[in-house]
Amino acid sequence: MDFPPGDFLILGCVCPLVIVTPEVSMGRYVIRRILQAIPLLLLVSIFMFALIHLMPGGPDQVIFNPHLSAAARAQMRVRFGLDDPVPIQYLKWLRNALTGDFGFSFTTNLPVLTVLGQRFPATLELFGSALIFALIFAILLGVVAGVRQRSITDYTLTTVSYFGISMPVFLFALFGQYIFAVALHWLPASGITSVGYTLAPFDAFVDGVWHLILPMMVLSILFIAAWSRYLRSTMIDVVKQDYMRTARAKGVSPLGVLMRHAMRNALIPLVTVVTLDFGSIAGGAVITETIFSWPGMGQLFYQSLEARDYPILLAMLTLSAFFVVAFNLLADILYGVLDPRIRYA
Partner 1 sequence: MDVSEQLSLSSFDEEIEPFLAETSELVQKRRSQGRIIFDRFMRNYTAVGGAAFLILLFIFCFVGPYIWHVNPNTVNVLHVKETLANPSLTHPFGTDDVGRDQLARAMAGGQVSLIVGLLSMLIGIGIGTLIGALAGFYGGWIDNVLMRITDVVLAVPLYLLLFVLSAAFSDGKPQTVILIIAFFSWTYAARLIRGEFLALKEREFVMAARTIGANNFRLMFRHILPNAAGPIIVNATLLVGANIITESVLSYFGFGVQPPNASWGTMIATGDSFFDVDPWLVFIPGLLIFATVLSFNLMGDGLRDALDPYMTER
Q: How far is the CB of 141 from partner 1 (least distance, A)?
A: 16
Piece of 134-142, 160-168, 265-273, 335-343 that binds partner 1 (CB under 8 A) = 160-168
Nearer CB in complex with partner 1: 12/254: 12
Closer to partner 1 by CB, 193 or 233: give it: 233
Q: Which of residues 80-119 bind partner 1 (CB under 8 A)?
A: none
Q: Is residue 301 close enough to count as binding partner 1 by CB under 8 A?
A: yes
Q: Is 72 in the site for partner 1 (CB under 8 A)?
A: no
Q: In the 8-state DSSP scheme, what is residue 104?
A: B
Give Cα 223 to chain centroid, integer Å: 10
Question: Angle of helix 297-307 relative to helix 112-147, nearest 10 degrees?
Answer: 130
Assess 300 for contact with partner 1 (CB under 8 A).
Answer: no
Collapsing DSSP states into helix, strand and coil, what is residue 111?
A: strand
Residue 244 binds to partner 1 (criterion: CB under 8 A): no
Strand partners, 104: 111
User: Taking the complex as a whole, how short is the minimal distance between the CB of residue 63 and partner 1, in angstroms?
Assistant: 14
Q: Is 186 in the site for partner 1 (CB under 8 A)?
A: no
Looking at the Cβ atoms of 13 and 71, the one nearer to partner 1 is: 13
166 makes contact with partner 1 (CB under 8 A): yes
Among left, alpha and beta (phi > 0; psi -120 to 50; other), residue 246 is alpha
Closest CA to 165 of 8, 334, 326, 310: 8
The DSSP symbol for 295 reads -
* Residue 38: Cβ within 10 Å count: 10
Q: Do residues 15 and 272 make contact, with C-beta atoms less than 8 angstroms apart? A: yes
Site for partner 1 (CB under 8 A): which residue of 35, 71, 182, 195? 182
Query: According to the binding rule CB under 8 A, does residue 10 interact with partner 1?
Result: yes
Query: Shortest approach of partner 1 to residue 273 CB, angstroms?
Result: 14
- From CA 146, how far away is CA 178, in angstroms rounded? 34
Dihedral pair phi/psi, residue 83, rounded to 5°: -90, -10
- Convert 122-148 into a string of H (helix), E (strand) and C (coil): HHHHHHHHHHHHHHHHHHHHHHHHHHC
Give min distance, CB of 229 to partner 1, in A.
9
Report residue 214: phi and psi, to 5°: -65, -55
Q: Which residues 245-274 are close enough to bind partner 1 by CB under 8 A?
A: none
> Which segment (44-52, 83-91, 132-140, 244-252) binds partner 1 by CB under 8 A?
44-52
Does 62 participate in binding partner 1 (rule CB under 8 A)?
A: no
Q: In this chain, which stretch among 33-41, 79-87, 114-122, 337-345 interacts with partner 1, using CB under 8 A?
A: 33-41
Q: How far is the CB of 109 from partner 1 (least distance, A)?
A: 22
> In the complex with partner 1, which residue's Cβ is closer, 38 or 74?
38
Q: Does 185 bind partner 1 (CB under 8 A)?
A: no
Dist CA 26 CA 24 (whole Å): 6
**What is the torsion angle, in degrees rounded to the nearest 10, for the CA atoms of residue 74, residue 80, residue 81 and residue 86?**
-100
In this structure, how many other beta carbons lie within 10 angstroms of the beta carbon of residue 110? 14
**Judged by CB under 8 A, which of 321, 329, 331, 333 binds partner 1?**
321
The span from the first CA to the last CA of the chain, in angstroms, equals 30
| 55 binds partner 1 per the rule CB under 8 A | yes
**167 lines the binding site for partner 1 (CB under 8 A):** yes
Residues that bind partner 1 (CB under 8 A): 1-6, 9-10, 12, 39-41, 43-44, 47-48, 51-52, 55-57, 150, 162-163, 165-171, 174-175, 177-178, 182, 233, 236, 280, 283, 286-287, 290, 301-302, 305, 313, 316-317, 320-321, 324-325
